[in-house]
Structure 1
Amino acid sequence: MSRRHAARRARTVGTVLAVLLAVLGCGTLPAGAAPQWGPPAAPNPFLGPAGTSTMHGDAGSTDVTPLPGPGIGPLTLSAYPLVSACPTLLQGSDRLVVALCTSVAGQVPTVHLIDPAAPAAPFGASLATFALAKGSLLGGVYAFLDNDNRLVAVDGNRQLLRLGHSRDPDGRWRITVDSRVDLSGSVPPGDNVTGLTPDWQGNVWFATGGGVVGAVDRAGVAHSLPLAAGEQVQNSISTSPAGTAVATTHALYQFTLRDGAVRVDWRRDYDRGPDRKPGQLSRGTGSTPSYFGPSTGSDFVAIVDNADPQVSLRVFRADSGDEICSLPVLGNPGGSENSPIGIANSVYVAGTYGYPYPAVPDGAGPAVPTNAPFTGGMTRVDIDPIGCHQVWSNDVRSAAVPHLSTGDGLLYTVIRQGFDVTTPLDGFSFAVIDPADGSVEHTSPLPGTAVNDTLQMSGLVTDTGDFWQGTVTGILRIRGE
């Protein structure tokens, strides 16, 4: 038995024993026992496989996958040097990986189709590519795979595209536009879609940087609602059976499409802070809202605010918008540009305060202070009968969006090595974290320095247990032996 499988087996046995002790009335779970995962939200029938069809794993943006990852044993590393930054990595039921990357030259969003079973070959890894019309910095970054393995994205020409892939008679792969919906009647000129996801009725929801929220129904008709002047949407959006959550630079909303119109179910202000913090891309929350919960998998919705100097995790009831709790996290000063991980009664937040982004969206405004040390930090918060409480906090300097695997009970991310004051010479390491107590169980150095900056981008656990991570120059594939 390999070390990887032995570690998984030991963890599984320990979790089962803890559950049996609790069921038999032998007290609370032992200290350090793996958290007990509640049920996920019902699968979205208009998405691809659970855990691999959106940047944040699912429609609710939980950053949770049911797939086991590489584990804590020996690892092998392969590189796909695509000369592009690759923030969106997805896998369909056909097992092919679809990557949405932005080329270093010209900043053109480009779709890459990759066979994960084939050896990684420099500059020849893609089965096919497809260039999209260029939009804003965040426009076109967020996309998803539908239940036919088609990439759904909005390009810089405000066209909602479904991109399929197939083989020509000569065996060559190609990417084609299977359908197109013109959103120019809903998205103003100069604006770009920054968030995109389907709901449980098949409507495709979108939000724009300029503050328009809309939904394209199954007949291909777009419905939209402009928000108050000054409200921007600089992160992705999330859906659940309860509705669609959108976090603007001022407030958290939940919407539904009713009677042919986009309706506000509820709106909750949060502390957006006086300025944009270093390590964040806008003034306001850096969170894609995360649906989670112990009963339905979408009982609650969470964001991290932009309070100064210390941010707070804010948790609301999805059905009413009532606040469950507000708890300071991540140290002082602190901030987060990442979506919280949400599962059952637990939320995991990673700090990005001071992270050195090479560019920010137009109109983001200056950071105050201009720059700061990147101290990172991660915090786990649990919901309890009277609110919520901190379970642990560590000093892990996560340089990517962490993902939690319920398949093996581990947290996966990439950490930045070096001093708090970042330099181009900093290194990066793949890291495995125990979600029970926040301890780092394994690290493995990644080659290179700035060329492998993961830039707070999201990883992907594939159906074979590999971990794929986008960097500023391509993709790294990490495989357990």
Structure 2
Amino acid sequence: MAPTPGTRRGTHRRTARSLLAALALAATTTSGATATTAAASTATTDASATAGVFAPAPPHNPYAGPDGTATMHGDTGSSDTTPLAGPGAGTWHSERTALASACPTVLVGADGYPVALCTPLFGQVPTVRLLDPDDGSSLAELALTKGSLLGGVYAYTDHQDRLVVADGSRALLRVGHHQDTDGSWRLTVDRRLSLTSAIPEGDAVTGLAPDWKGRVWFATGNGVVGTADDTTGTVRTLTLPAGERVANSISTAPQGTAVTTTHATYLLTAGADGTPKITWRKPYDRGTARKPGLLSWGSGSTPTFFGPGTGTDYVAIVDNADDAAHLEVYRTSDGADVCRVPVLRAAAGPASENSPVGIGRSVFVAGTYGYPYPAVPEGAGDSVPASADFAGGLTRVDVRADGTGCAPVWDNALRSAAVPKLSTGDGLLHTVLRDPLIPGTKGTSLLDPFRYAQIDPATGKVVRSKTVGVGSLFDTLQMAGTITTDGTFLQGTVTGVLRITAE
């Protein structure tokens, strides 16, 4: 039987884990330690008073799970916002659930059970894991057919708490979790639709999201964009211009589906039979090569819907121009340019692999230039230069009230090692920072400390933080965190999932 909404198994446990002695790399945790001074607590309270200033979020998609936890980027508009408040002003604790897997996607359905899409370090077969909401332990797992590197990254939860994902066999799956009479859990493929008739051999789905009619939009690495109705079996596709690759996920809004390729951003809609058609196309400056800290030659952005009216008035990406990274904002209705603004200047890091955070008139861009990814997707090409120090950087830009242009609000050199999330519940940006082993430098090492941080979006300043671990076991690898209904912050790492809680 399926769990009833709002129920959870067991009581809230604070189980201490000490797995590091068995590992060759020296690393430490600060689980159970206090994380702040009285002054920082006051700053958090003051920042919380701004909750509600940033609005509205994109409208809820009726075919997706709860806003804030349904997709890697929070919602199908990829706003990277959440209505849920994160760990509060009490004592912070951090724990690591070791899964021997990189877990870029941790989602939560309406029933409160986290579902993670992970790629094991050995074998690299994408695996779905159901996690205990009380302590983060793995309750059940299901291996999927192996495909491309990005095939183990993007997924979403639907309105029935099922994980929707495409596997390496070019099939669209809905994976449900079910509790048996003995209390044990299992993951099953509740529905499967083959996409082999629409996706050529050697290609694979990169991103997918539902539209407002319940169809699943998908985009492949080689530029096939389609809709799939797994109740009728209908699949319709459109192939984008030759040479344009899709290296990030896609976003949906009532107005259409946004797809950013390695050359341009598109808004697509579907005809009555589901066939995609291009509403507008906007090329951007992709530069002369892939930069270090990017996973493709082009924009690293999943396009972000945001806006002060409907919550989806605009679409934002970050380009890959040689001289600087620019935030580009387009009007959703017709693709008209709203602004092109250089970002990440304080950090001198001209690149972002992350989807911008967008809500109301505000956009936040985190820099990834020089981030030491252990691997890049096949066909990504060499970076120029071959490597660089991790620059980081975080910039806020606001669209002017009349919609004519944008203006920078603040710019700093914070080194976010994750995709930041803006909580409208507590008025704070939540992320994990990667601090240099030697303060004041930009280099990275196997012993860098990682620090969970809450940032005031009005000023860009850290109001509270806590070291959650030291060393590559805690590398958050520019993955997105998720806040649960009880205020727990779940953050995927290269070896499992971190849980940050307050009491």
Normalised to the residue count of structure 1, the TM-score between the two structures is: 0.92
- In the alignment, is residue 422 of structure 1 matched against residue 444 of structure 2? yes
Summarize the Cα distance change of 1:367–1:111 in structure 2 as closer, same or farther, 3 Å threshold: same
* Partner deviation per Cα, 1:6-61 (whole Å, 9 max, x = no partner): 7766545x44xxxxxxxxxxxxxxxxxx7822222221000111110100000000
**Matched residue, 2:335:** 321
Summarize the Cα distance change of 1:10–1:433 in structure 2 as closer, same or farther, 3 Å threshold: closer
* Partner deviation per Cα, 1:261-313 (whole Å, 9 max, x = no partner): 11101000000110000000000000000000000000000000000120100
298, 303, 309: which is aligned to 1:295?
Answer: 309
The 5-angstrom pairing of residues 182-193 of structure 1 reads 182-193=194-205
Letter in 2 for 1:404: L
**Matched residue, 2:54:** 37
159, 181, 184: which is aligned to 1:169?
Answer: 181
Moved more, 411-420 or 60-69: 411-420
373, 378, 385: which is aligned to 1:362?
Answer: 378
Secondary structure, aligned partner of 2:473 = helix
Letter in 2 for 1:429: R
How far apart are the structure 1 equivalents of 2:469 and 2:416?
Answer: 17
* Partner deviation per Cα, 1:310-352 (whole Å, 9 max, x = no partner): 0100000111110100001112441000000000000000000
Summarize the Cα distance change of 1:473–1:140 in structure 2 as closer, same or farther, 3 Å threshold: closer
Shift of 1:448: 2.9
Q: Which runs of 5+ in 1 are unaligned?
A: 16-33
**Matched residue, 2:65:** 48
126, 147, 150: which is aligned to 2:159?
Answer: 147
Secondary structure, aligned partner of 2:247 = coil
Contact 2:349 2:392 (C-alpha < 8 Å) held by counterparts: no
418, 423, 431: which is aligned to 1:413?
Answer: 431
How far apart are the structure 1 equivalents of 2:46 and 2:299?
Answer: 39
443, 459, 462: which is aligned to 2:484?
Answer: 462
Summarize the Cα distance change of 1:468–1:203 in structure 2 as closer, same or farther, 3 Å threshold: same
Contact 1:35 1:436 (C-alpha < 8 Å) held by counterparts: no
How far apart are the structure 2 equivalents of 1:11 and 1:307?
Answer: 34
Contact 2:397 2:409 (C-alpha < 8 Å) held by counterparts: yes
After the TM superposition, list the runs of 4 or more consecutive aligned residues in structure 1 that deviate by more than 3 angstroms.
Answer: 2-12
Secondary structure, aligned partner of 2:354 = coil
Normalised to the residue count of structure 2, the TM-score between the two structures is: 0.88
**Matched residue, 2:149:** 137
Shift of 1:171: 2.3
Secondary structure, aligned partner of 1:391 = strand
**Matched residue, 1:474:** 496
Secondary structure, aligned partner of 2:149 = coil
Contact 1:83 1:103 (C-alpha < 8 Å) held by counterparts: yes
How far apart are the structure 1 equivalents of 2:42 and 2:407?
Answer: 33
318, 336, 340: which is aligned to 2:356?
Answer: 340
Letter in 2 for 1:109: P
Contact 1:49 1:93 (C-alpha < 8 Å) held by counterparts: yes
Contact 1:276 1:283 (C-alpha < 8 Å) held by counterparts: yes
Summarize the Cα distance change of 1:6–1:393 in structure 2 as closer, same or farther, 3 Å threshold: closer
Letter in 2 for 1:399: A
Secondary structure, aligned partner of 2:258 = strand
Contact 1:454 1:470 (C-alpha < 8 Å) held by counterparts: yes
**Matched residue, 2:413:** 395
Contact 2:392 2:415 (C-alpha < 8 Å) held by counterparts: yes
How far apart are the structure 1 equivalents of 2:393 and 2:89?
Answer: 21
Letter in 1 for 2:350: G
Contact 1:48 1:148 (C-alpha < 8 Å) held by counterparts: yes
Contact 1:272 1:306 (C-alpha < 8 Å) held by counterparts: yes
How far apart are the structure 1 equivalents of 2:398 and 2:109?
Answer: 32
Secondary structure, aligned partner of 2:85 = coil
How far apart are the structure 2 equivalents of 1:365 and 1:150?
Answer: 35
Letter in 2 for 1:239: T
- In the alignment, is residue 254 of structure 1 matched against residue 267 of structure 2? yes
Shift of 1:71: 3.5
* Partner deviation per Cα, 1:115-168 (whole Å, 9 max, x = no partner): 212x35xxxx21110000011111131000000000000000001000111112
Contact 1:62 1:342 (C-alpha < 8 Å) held by counterparts: yes
205, 219, 231: which is aligned to 2:244?
Answer: 231
Secondary structure, aligned partner of 1:180 = strand
- In the alignment, is residue 277 of structure 1 matched against residue 291 of structure 2? yes
Summarize the Cα distance change of 1:5–1:67 in structure 2 as closer, same or farther, 3 Å threshold: farther
Contact 2:118 2:152 (C-alpha < 8 Å) held by counterparts: no
CA RMSD of aligned residues (A): 1.6
How far apart are the structure 1 equivalents of 2:430 and 2:60?
Answer: 23
Summarize the Cα distance change of 1:413–1:9 in structure 2 as closer, same or farther, 3 Å threshold: closer
